[in-house]
Chain A
Amino acid sequence: MPDSQNSEANATVGEIAREPRFDAVVRWVEYIQNNPPEVWGPQQNAVVDGQIDSAAAVDRSPEEIRKIRSFADDVLAEREESSEE
């Protein structure tokens, strides 16, 4: 159930998720370069401010945030270790 367009037929779900989306980044930079800030600025700020609003609506404690980060760090470290073996 991928929602990304950079899927590769032989890649695993984890590999797809970790692969940088350079094409999307470059397309956005081209958009910035070809349009005035009045056009791209509000779009970018909608992403940034949207997350701030969402975060404000979910009242997570610092401890919960640390647990979430710790989980992600542990999984990534384990994957890195297994890929080195």
Chain B
Amino acid sequence: MSGVELTDSGLVVDREPNGFDELAIEFSTLAAQHDIDHVFIAGYVAILTGRSRSTEDIDVFIQPCSEAEIDAFVAELEAADYWGPAMPLSAMYDNLSSGTNIWVAPDGEMSPRLEVKFPGDEFDRASLSNAISASIDGETIPIGPLELQIAYKLALGGRTDLEDAAHLYTLFGETLSTARLETWVEKLGTEDEYARLTEL
């Protein structure tokens, strides 16, 4: 049963894709065509793994790139009928290089959308460099390592974040690496929240 499995080769999701999955898959395909390393993180990872909630955006880190590389990627996105609902996609490099994000959505739409960022700290960079593969509907996308997602959600501490952490922890249980999870928990200083999680 279940249809969501964490294997040695990554996450396998065996349900029909929803609107967020379709958006993530299409963006990932376009990024891969430009050899732009990227990783989906945060709430979308919980939703991909079956969490019954929604969100307004899909958070995705892309590797820091040159202005020319970003401009080429933007041209590809626009050719594929994407736009920037908050700011023109032509501002992508300026936004990303100044540490802010940029929204990317299907042309004329506001939601669902992607919130694209360059990694900003060691946890962001760790998500990118330790990404695992997630397969759904015959497609593969990179997602942040589940142990880091859990610890980071505990650190964020909002209700939805804590529930996301609980979802991932209780769903994957013993298939998670306790050593890696506890390393991230310690780095993020979320020992108390983690202790509560292990009691669920």
Contact = CB atoms under 8 A, between A and B. Distances in A.
B3 interface: yes
Q: Is the interface of A mostly helix, strand, loop or mixed?
A: helix
A26 B171 CA distance: 8
* B-side interface size class: 35 or more
Contacts of B112: 52, 55
A76 B47 CA distance: 24
A55 B111 contact: yes
A47 B53 contact: yes
B23 to A, nearest CB: 9
Given A25-B170, A47-B52, A34 B110 contact: no
Contacts of B166: 20, 22, 25-26
A5 to B, nearest CB: 15
Contacts of B162: 20, 22
A20 B50 CA distance: 18
A9 interface: no
Interface in A47-77: 47-52, 55-56, 59-60, 62, 65, 76
A7 interface: no
Given A19-B159, A28-B167, A47-B53, A33 B110 contact: no
Interface in A35-50: 35-38, 40-45, 47-50
Contact of B200 (A26, A47, A60): A26
B3 A36 contact: yes
Residues of B contacting A: mostly: loop
A22 B167 CA distance: 8
A62 B47 CA distance: 23
A56 B105 CA distance: 12
B176 to A, nearest CB: 13
A22 B51 CA distance: 12
Contact of B86 (A48, A62, A76): A62
7 contacts: A28-B51, A40-B50, A44-B50, A45-B16, A48-B19, A51-B54, A55-B56
Interface of B: 1-4, 13-16, 18-20, 47, 50-56, 85-86, 103, 109-112, 158-159, 162-163, 166-167, 170-171, 200
